[in-house]
Amino acid sequence: MINMDLAKMKEIKIYFLGLAFLVVFGCNNNKPFSVKAWNEKEDILYTQRKYLVQDLIRNHLKQEMCYEDLVKLLGSPVDVSRKESKSTIYFEVETKYGSDIDPDWVKYLEVALTSDSCYENAQVIKLK
C-alpha cells in the first residue's frame, strides 16, 4: 500500500514538473515580423509590436540599412525627449495606461545609428 502511494506521488510530481516546463517555455508570444502586423492599431495603441520586436531585431534590422530604409520598414520615428545624440531614433512598441490620461510607461524600440545614419544596433527600452 505504501509503495503504491509513493508511486502515485512520483507520477503526480512528474506531471506537475512537465506542466511547469510547458508554462515556462511554451508560452512564447513572439511572432514573425511583418510590416502589416507592425502597423496594426486599435484606437491609439499598437496591438502587435510587442510580439514582433524580438524577431525584428534578430532577423530584419541589418547593418547596411540606413535611416530611409528604417523609415520605409517601420514608419516614422517618434520624438522622445531624452538627452541622447541625434544618432538615436525611437519607435513606439507598447504603452500601458493606468487610471488617468497619462501613460504609466511606454516601451520603445531604440535604434542607434552610425555617424552616416545607418543602423548600428537596437534594443527595447521602457520609460516611465
Q: Grid coordinates standing for 37?
A: 502586423
Q: Give pTM, 2 decimals.
A: 0.75
Q: What share of the chain has pLDDT > 70, as a percent?
A: 82
Hey, how many other C-beta atoms are within 10 angstroms of the C-beta on 97? 13
What is the C-alpha to C-alpha distance for residues 68 and 105, in angstroms, rounded to an integer?
A: 28
Q: Which residues pair with 103 in a beta bridge?
A: 97
Cell numbers standing for residue 12: 503526480
Q: Mean pLDDT for each consecutive 10-residue tract of the chain (128 residues)? A: 67 67 60 97 95 98 97 94 77 94 95 95 96
pLDDT reported for residue 57: 98
